[in-house]
Structure 1
């Protein structure tokens, strides 16, 4: 079928096409009259960048990723947000809600059924490039209900985000609480064991060189060193005949001076008077008495030095025994302190762990109670006066196009099954008979009025 033939066919069957167009337009008008208008209300939520110290595992880099808003959109479309909307609005307890949504007991729980129905009217738009604003729209035949549901979904979305961020912290707080309870009991048990151990080992306060036993050992060691020096000095004096003490003695020096003086007199008298002189003999006797006194005094000094040396040695021996005994006690105490120090170190480590967990739990409790989130309501939804469905002009345009296409297809279908020859070109193409010509029928001549009538009419010439 040539395009010329197709055009002729469509022109011949214009009544069928017109009938299809009229039928399609009538159906479109009927649909516009019957269809309930649908209103759309939109609330906008902005997803700002949240500080890292707030609740939740997301970092700033994760929130700036390309899939962050897609994840938030999936959360918004989830059953949890829809159930939160049902809970917040109390739709499950509203009168007539069962008849409105057509709920049956076989459909499951009423709140879940209503939530699934509400999700059908939810529209989310976050496809704007380089924008962190999400548009939350709701479709309903009641403009007030559409605005209320859009705002309810926005509020529930923010609340669920707070819950999603707070739930990990809350679970961590519970875990930390259990750990702290276990650590507290273990810490008290170990402290009791430490006190009992210190009592058993007779350990007093102080560690290392600061404990009383070590201080007493240091004092005894100092005394021993002094006694050893004193004993050495006394032994040296006694071994040398106590010569330093003898020379330092005033009595000895006086006797020696007196003897020297009398010796000088004796020498002089021996030269003048002779050895048989009574005065000379008396002087010699006096000198002998003085020498006896000097010898006695020197012997006394040597005896005193020997006694001092013996006393110093005895003191040194006593201090040696005391130092040895005290050193043994210090060694024993330090060995016991080593056992105790291990327990003290374990207690210190356990206390450090307890303090860290307690500090972290306190931080998480504060963050949990603040209820922070990076989502904020930018603008609430308001009732719309203009319905978004049905779209009258679009519906009529589609009906017109549908009618035209349906009419053309119907006309071509009828022509396909109707094999009658209507055009001269079909004779040659279908039957192979040459077309020798066409007999044209002249159009009917116009009716002429009589001359006497036409003469009476103004501005009229005879045909």
Structure 2
């Protein structure tokens, strides 16, 4: 199976690990929904059923425009039912007052809280702005409008699917009041529809009567203006000329196009012949010259004469009388050909001039005809304007008179057919809140929100935690895991000395084994310990790795290469008066090595903090020191400063055969670790692998708990101290 595949247990692991967050979000949402559900006042719904049909027209000119299916019609009726006009009729019919609706409003916890907040805002506003005067009294009309708006807000209009029946519902904490308002609204809607029809018809008749009189006056005025214009411009003769002129204009345009084409053709032929007039033989090849009958006859005679000359030249010499005669005849024919070419050129020139003259005459005639047509069009445009105005006014007047007669006949008809199918009865139970539905919704939404937030938090967490995902993300093997050390009174750097059977001690022994097996030749002779950032545990790892290797009877040297914040001398209680910095600055090698806390372990402390650690570490004395010490020790382990903070680790990594990168679980990010690995790869430093330090194994980390238990034979709790 592909190791990159995401399994269901990975999702379950995330949910289990973030279960506190999931339960918290779920609890908050579910409790909020439950409080809202049980604190809300129960609402009862009274429902009335009304049949609404679109009335058919009376048949006077409107049958063609009637549509049985009209989706906008029903939506219009729904808005009319919820309009303020209908609500005002309800208020007046039931004789409602503000006290009636005040007693009918919700009195639950949420409603009381909302009223308290609104009263507090008004009080604060009056105090800040100094508005301490008494509120103005609301007039009767304003009170009715406010009551009508409140009635309209609580109305619900719903159509039955695939029917013409509409339900009008009203919700109220009082079931009797809900039924009364629903029934009264249905009756008010019917009354409002009838009144709207009567008012509309009356207003329409008044307006159309006034408009018809205005249109009659406009029609009379337009007819008189048209008649006067026809007399002044002789419109009868003008119509005949307007019909002939366009035809004449088209004919002249066609002739002009033909003449222009003929002129261009004659011009092209004339230009060709004129260029070759001095070369009769070349001019003879042109189609316009070659097609001339006289030229064809001369060409035939010249060919015969030339053939006759060739025949006689075979018998006679050039000075023979016969030869002179035939040669003279040939010259005469050629002169005639040249004369004929000149004649053809003059003929083509005359044809070209005639074509130019014809084109110019047609163009002048076309311009004249255009001017005449333009003048006629201008006169006829004004005539058309006046005529259209007369026709428009006549159509408007006739239409208004037809509508006036139609409205007078159909004024008593109804535009909508309305019947109350079923009156509202007093509801037996509330419709809101729906407690089972709300609780189920709160359960589902709370659970989904908690799980979603858990995955979001997991997505944002980009710190190093577990070996499999670390190896996948960084491309390096994990050499070992060190569990989180929770005993504050114990020093983790001395765990192998103080608590050799603890879980952390076993972690470092496992790390020792992994380092020794990191290459076929065994553990490298020089091992550099570093970390991407501070407080990752590199000094702890270097100290414990050196102790556990020395316990295998290998001769181990531990060097404190952190000459900025040294700690090894304090961990093992050694003197730091003379150390690595003294030697690299030019001191002698005496008293450089100090005995460690176990056999086979020697320690070189950092010495006094120098002003230039990087320059000392990059000196030749450092390389010479390591070469000399390597002869006396099996393993040299060096602790260094953080890799991304200073250049010291990169300088030293060139002198060591393997680098171990220490990262702190849930603190070191993958970006920091990736940058550290890249900085080592840029200088070709060999990296043995990673050590994940301070890994806290929670109950949700079942896989790693099982790993630790099976590997070390202990429970994770015992390993933590």
Question: What TM-score results when the alignment is normalised by the length of structure 2?
Answer: 0.31
Larger Rg: 1
Structure with the higher strand share, 1 or 2: 2
Structure with bigger RCO (C-alpha 8 Å, 6+ apart): 1
More helix by share: 1
TM-score normalised according to structure 1 size: 0.46
